[in-house]
Amino acid sequence: MNKKKVLGKIIKTPDNPLGYTFDKLENNNSNSNYCVRFTVPEFTSICPVTSQPDFATLVIDYVPKTWLLESKSLKIFIQSFRNYGIFHEDVTILIGKYILKQAKPNWLRVAGFFAPRGGIPIDVFWQSGKIPKNCFVPEISNFIKKNQMG
């Protein structure tokens, strides 16, 4: 297990996500393929062109290998986008790449369901590789039907 930086501590949210390091926990079930889903219903970032806030629901699904993401650490990372200027596509991919690089899961998917701007919602999906065999991963379409935005 790596040294915890945020769990059990009062932490100031970083001004931006760049260079962030997640806390991780050892996966005690690394011999099993299973899916972990984080749902972030109140994601906020800033449009880099208009400086207006962008709102989204993020769905992060991953099949862990050696490490689990510590949820408070993920929450602080997500909060660091609150005043950060970034496009929808870029933020979805950046979140995915940070998780992939640090947690090294067997598989990862990040879906960003952004609230409509100019009447048009933008949904962005990014994933690493193929879902491992014999692993149940809930369909994103089930999430969309259950949680329509807009």
**Which amino acids are annotated catalytic?**
47, 54
The residue among 120, 114, 124 whose CA lies nearest residue 149 is 114
Token pair 């991780």: residue: 24
What number of residues does the chain have? 150
Beta bridge partners of 55: 44
Contact call for residues 62 and 136 (beta carbons, < 8 A): no
